[in-house]
């Protein structure tokens, strides 16, 4: 089991897509173990996107992600990072496969609806940045017996 970070960006919130995206995550069989809606403080955005600090789009990215509320999620499941990345789709919505979140709802590379951690180390770092100790709920859903074959666990 892995826990990963997702957040629905301001464009997803403003377009009223939170419920649709959350439904896709849950229908896939993933478990939401943390959720909060918030305005992103600039310092959190700077830390989250630190790897892009020297890139020309950095300031625009910070302006975008701090412009409106986001929905931050911690999601748990077998291979959750890869599963979520597949659900999300390619960065640019015009190039993302149909059936993915970005492929079905996105038309941009910048306003691309959702972030998902890209590795275990990123997920660990990002979860600590966005959630305080004690904010995640570790529980088992009885439906998991119908989601996973015992050999998956």
What would the DSSP string read from start to end of 75-114? EEETTHHHHHHHHH--SSTTTSPTTSHHHHH---SSS-SE
The length of the chain, given as a count of residues: 153
Q: Tell the burial category of 113 from Cβ atoms under 10 Å away from its Cβ (0-12, 13-18, 19+).
A: buried
Show the tokens assigned to 107: 């038309």
Annotation says 48 is catalytic: no
Q: Which of 25, 33, 115, 123 is catalytic?
A: 115
What angle in degrees, to the nearest 10, is found between the helix axes of 80-88 and 18-28? 140
Show the tokens assigned to 10: 């301001």
4, containing H or E segment: strand 2-8
Which residues are marked as active site?
Answer: 115
């Amino acid at each position: 089991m892995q826990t990963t970070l997702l957040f629905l960006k301001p464009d997803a919130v403003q377009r009223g897509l939170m419920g649709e995206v959350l439904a896709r995550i849950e229908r896939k069989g993933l478990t939401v173990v943390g959720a909060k809606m918030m305005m992103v403080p600039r310092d959190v955005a700077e830390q989250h996107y630190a790897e892009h600090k020297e890139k020309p789009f950095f300031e625009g990215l910070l302006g975008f992600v701090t412009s409106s509320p986001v929905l931050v999620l911690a999601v748990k499941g077998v291979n959750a990072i890869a599963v979520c990345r597949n659900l999300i789709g390619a960065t640019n919505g015009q190039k993302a496969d149909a059936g993915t979140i970005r492929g079905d709802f996105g038309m941009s590379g910048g306003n691309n609806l959702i972030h998902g951690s890209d590795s275990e180390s990123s997920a660990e770092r990002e979860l600590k940045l966005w959630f305080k100790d004690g904010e995640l709920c570790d529980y088992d859903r009885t439906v998991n017996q119908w989601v996973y074959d015992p050999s998956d666990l």
